[in-house]
Amino acid sequence: MITKIIEFIENFLSSGVPMSAYLIVGLIMFFAGVYGFVTRKNLIMVLISIELILNAADLNFAVFNRYLYPEQTEGFFFTLFAIAVSACEAAVAIAIIINIYRNLNNIDVEKLETLKEPDETYREIIRS
C-alpha cells in the first residue's frame, strides 16, 4: 500500500504536474468566487469573490498557454494585463465602498436601496 503511494508520487513528480490539476484548482477557485459573489452580503466580501473569479480565469490563461502552446507568450501577457486591470478595479471599488460607508454607515448589499424607487408611491405619482 505504502509502496504504491510512494510509486504514485514518484511518477507524479517525474512526469510533472498534469494540466488537469491546474484546471481543477481553477475550477474550484471560480465556483468558490461565484458562490461568494452570490451569497455574501458584505460588499468587501463580494469584491474579494470577484477577485477570486478573476484569478481563476488568469490561472486558466497561464495553464493553457504553458501546456498547449509553450512556444508562445500571449496567455501570460494577457494574465499580467488582467492582473493590472483587476488591481485598478479593486482600487476604484474600494473607494466607492468607502464612500458608501461614509454616507450610509452600511455596506450591506441588501440594504443599499436609496436609489431604488419606492413601490406603491411611484404608482400614485404616475396616477396623479
In the complex, the smallest distance separating the C-beta of residue 116 from another protein, rounded to whole angstroms, is 5
Name the segment binding another protein (CB under 8 A); options: 19-27, 30-38, 55-63, 92-100. 30-38
Which residues 66-105 are close enough to bind another protein by CB under 8 A? Answer: none
If one counts every other C-beta atom within 10 angstroms of the C-beta of residue 74, the result is 10
What are the grid coordinates assigned to 105, written together? 454607515
Question: Is there a contact between 82 and 55 (Cβ–Cβ < 8 Å)?
Answer: no
C-alpha–C-alpha distance, residues 9 and 15, integer Å: 10
In the complex, the smallest distance separating the C-beta of residue 89 from another protein, rounded to whole angstroms, is 15
C-alpha–C-alpha distance, residues 2 and 21, integer Å: 23
In the complex, the smallest distance separating the C-beta of residue 23 from another protein, rounded to whole angstroms, is 16
User: What residue ranges bind another protein (CB under 8 A)?
Assistant: 34, 37-39, 46, 109-110, 113, 115-116, 123, 126
